[in-house]
Structure 1
């Protein structure tokens, strides 16, 4: 099957979308991929072939921004399951266990340390900073 025209994608059923996917990628689409998502990927590829892809500058900018995003969240993601964080706040010691699914505090799992810190303090805090996982800048 040749690549369909962009305006024809909406009318294609699963079988024809799968054939177009096969022609594009050389293999069948993942078995549970929705038709909506297949259309989006195929539409993008059709546009790239017709108009060209992202410029080298745009690709470099995206890579740089991705690197910064990973670096900024590196500390929290660097924690390994089984680790334990302790923080004393207003005379109470709070224990947070690092799990595969996030952070366990008082029997409840949270995806974010910041939510736990906010709950403990009643105000906005960076979770990694509250638990001492980030370096603070020295005052000059």
Structure 2
């Protein structure tokens, strides 16, 4: 006997179409929108929760998404070419590629944290992080250097809330 759930699956979120005539106004509005509005627009335009990244990241991704919804996205050939190039860079390791794409801040991003009254700035690089002119393999190593105790670096720099997986 097969049991079927009486609850229907949640419908996929409806992503709104954006008329090309609204693109410039929407892009300009993103520059001064409060962070709460940016996160709301993220939910509307991507159909999921926004990542815990900084304002410039959200603005840049939302800007791209507005244009994508108005004018169309990448051609399938272009998408396939980018996937092939990604495989060259990570040896075809889809898990590694997904980790980098979904959770790691873009190279050049500056992470700023105040600790004991001192502001600490870390720059995200392609394969590591830079702090005080030195390369570090992980944010946890930087957090340990700053505090003298063990920390999850992602939590210390506010990229992940305590208790998140």
TM-score clears 0.5: no
Structure 1 length as normaliser, TM-score?
Answer: 0.44
Structure 2 length as normaliser, TM-score?
Answer: 0.38
